[in-house]
Structure 1
Amino acid sequence: MSFRSKCHRASEIVSKFLEPVSENMGTDQRELRTQTQQHVLETMKILRSTLAHYKLNEVAISYNGGKDCLVILVVLLAVMYDVYTEEIGCDNYRLDGIYVHSEESFEEVERFLVESCETWGLNRIKINDDLKSGFRDYMEHINPDVKAVVIGVRRTDPYSKNLTASEMTNNDWPRFMRINAALDWHYVHIWDFIRGCDLEYCKLYDLGYTSLGGVHTTTPNPYLRLESGSYNPAYVLQDDLKERAGRAKKNT
């Protein structure tokens, strides 16, 4: 399947999600869906206005297989279907999906990365390093053509409260435009989109993990624990502030 076909599929998925909310939904669910639709539209607006300044081969996505970047990936491909109508016609084109990490990954995460990159036409680039050094390696040695990276960060993530939708890296970071197109989404909106679109996601989320890090720093979320000792799936959680309750600080 060509990259154009992948983008077209994403466009159809997003368009269907944006259809008028069904009256058969409960009041709370209708309200949530309406909010999520507004977030999707705002994200699409940000991506369209930003991508207009770049060629297709100048854009990449930071993709670790997590829920946030999965949502952004699907919306990004939908927007690319409109913005890069001619350029995406190349059958063998693949969008760079950059995965920079310094911890041991879960097998389930690695498996989902491989599967989802194939599903959505990503060129999986895995770099074992800290973020700054990893992106420097990518920009200088792997794909110097890239000028903008789409990132699925939200304001509730660490060090993200004051970010803007698009901003150039600073200090001694490698120079590229960070496109933060999902800043104002909340945890419940992420899951409403994933489940509303029936997207495949990493199965660790079904085991009570709500924020995925390394094997030695991530456990199921204690707020989802049941009396039986098992856990509710990640989408049951409602509170953004409890999302990272299963994450421990890395040893230094």
Structure 2
Amino acid sequence: MIYDSLARPDGPRINGVAKPSDSPPKRKLPEICYELRGKIDAFLREDITGDDVLRNVQTQVGVSMGVIEEALRRYGPDHLSLSYNGGKDCLVLLILILACLPSWNAPSVSPGQSDPVSDNSPISPPSSESAELSRPLQSIYIVSAHPFAEVEEFVENTAQEYHLDLKRYALPMRPALEAYLQDCPAVKAIFLGTRRTDPHGEFLTHFDPTDAGWPQFMRIHPVIDWHYVEIWAFIRHLKIPFCELYNRGFTSLGGVTDTRPNPALAVSGDCSKFRPAYELRDDDEERLGRDNK
């Protein structure tokens, strides 16, 4: 069952700023990919002194992009998908995947030439758009039983902005994955935004097949070793728009019935006022606003 009826309240908002009704036409996917690759390449070349978090993020980005590029080599875009729900972790993963597509699309180098990916030199847009790079990224959205309208709206907006071929399933996780693989039998591996501190994330590696009894595919975890503060440092340093619930003290997004603002971000103990999610520092406090911790 594909769930396609997203909430569409008037005046959609991202990061608390209303999106203009006369927004410009959607940019083409290659333009977005090369722009993101340029931003990340520039970030990796930054000489960051006095900021241990951003230096760690630079290292994490390099590792994650290596995992993504390895997945592209193993499976190719036709057999890859992304699990996307608009949350901060899969948002970072989405940006990194899109930034890796230009290197996948780049022409191979001749012996003796430098590799434009490994030597971190900028990748220039091609003179003509490639069909490979223009193809939307396959993705699956497993909808919460009681979704936030803000999350639904953000998922819809970003799916359009980043050209996701997004299929929505209002089902529990296992039957949702079964239905997705039945609808998209070419998918052999799925990128997940799971991190080490998430439930069941402690022993995962970058590539893990699904467990027995589950739909069979390769789970790919490029951001598994990122810390909470590193996720937010990346998003804010690169000025990536994010779901507005994070500005209201939500630090882990579930459904309306099991998620609330994080009490660790309450202002002066007032549980009606909360600081934004990116001010939380401790990984262990990330899911204090979730019933299913």
One fold, TM greater than 0.5? yes
CA distance in 2, matches of 1:143, 1:6: 25
1:247 aligns with 2:290: yes
1:111 aligns with 2:169: no
Answer whether contact 1:97 1:124 (CA < 8 A) is retained.
yes
Shift of 1:48: 1.2
Match of 1:67 in 2: 88
Q: What amino acid maps onto 1:65 in structure 2?
A: G
Give 5+ residue unaligned stretches, structure 2.
Answer: 1-26, 108-128
Match of 2:185 in 1: 144
CA distance in 2, matches of 1:22, 1:37: 9
Match among 129, 152, 165 for residue 123 of structure 1: 165
Q: Which moved more, 1:239-248 or 1:41-50?
A: 41-50
Answer whether contact 1:106 1:215 (CA < 8 A) is retained.
yes
CA distance in 2, matches of 1:4, 1:241: 38
Question: RMSD of aligned C-alpha atoms?
Answer: 1.7
When Rg is computed on C-alpha atoms for both structures, the one with the higher figure is 2
CA distance in 1, matches of 2:62, 2:251: 25
Moved over 4 A (4+): none
1:190 aligns with 2:226: no
Rate the CA distance shift 1:171–1:22 in 2: closer, same or farther, 3 A.
Answer: closer
Match of 2:33 in 1: 7
Match among 72, 80, 103 for residue 82 of structure 1: 103
Q: Which moved more, 1:154-163 or 1:101-110?
A: 101-110
Match of 2:198 in 1: 157
Q: Which moved more, 1:166-175 or 1:231-240?
A: 166-175
CA distance in 2, matches of 1:189, 1:176: 28
Match among 216, 219, 225 for residue 175 of structure 1: 216
Shift of 1:54: 1.3
Q: Which moved more, 1:155-164 or 1:3-12?
A: 3-12
Shift of 1:81: 1.6
1:226 aligns with 2:262: no
Shift of 1:3: 2.5
Match of 1:236 in 2: 279
Match of 1:135 in 2: 177
Match of 2:250 in 1: 209
CA distance in 2, matches of 1:100, 1:130: 8
Q: What amino acid maps onto 1:226 in structure 2?
A: V
Shift of 1:15: 1.4
Shift of 1:92: 5.7
Q: What amino acid maps onto 1:36 in structure 2?
A: V
Shift of 1:22: 4.2
Answer whether contact 2:251 2:286 (CA < 8 A) is retained.
yes
Per-residue CA deviations over 1:57-110 (Å, capped at 9, x if unaligned) read 111100000000000110111112211348x82286211221113421101101
Shift of 1:43: 0.4
Shift of 1:2: 3.0
CA distance in 2, matches of 1:151, 1:134: 15
Match of 2:10 in 1: none
Answer whether contact 2:195 2:223 (CA < 8 A) is retained.
yes
Larger helix percent: 1
Normalised by the size of structure 2, how large is the TM-score? 0.79
The percent identity for this pair of structures is 36
Per-residue CA deviations over 1:180-212 (Å, capped at 9, x if unaligned) read 111110000000000000000000000000000
Answer whether contact 1:150 1:179 (CA < 8 A) is retained.
yes
Q: Which moved more, 1:164-173 or 1:187-196?
A: 164-173
Answer whether contact 1:6 1:121 (CA < 8 A) is retained.
no
Normalised by the size of structure 1, how large is the TM-score? 0.91
Match among 42, 52, 64 for residue 16 of structure 1: 42
Match among 24, 42, 54 for residue 33 of structure 1: 54
* SS, match of residue 267 in structure 2: coil
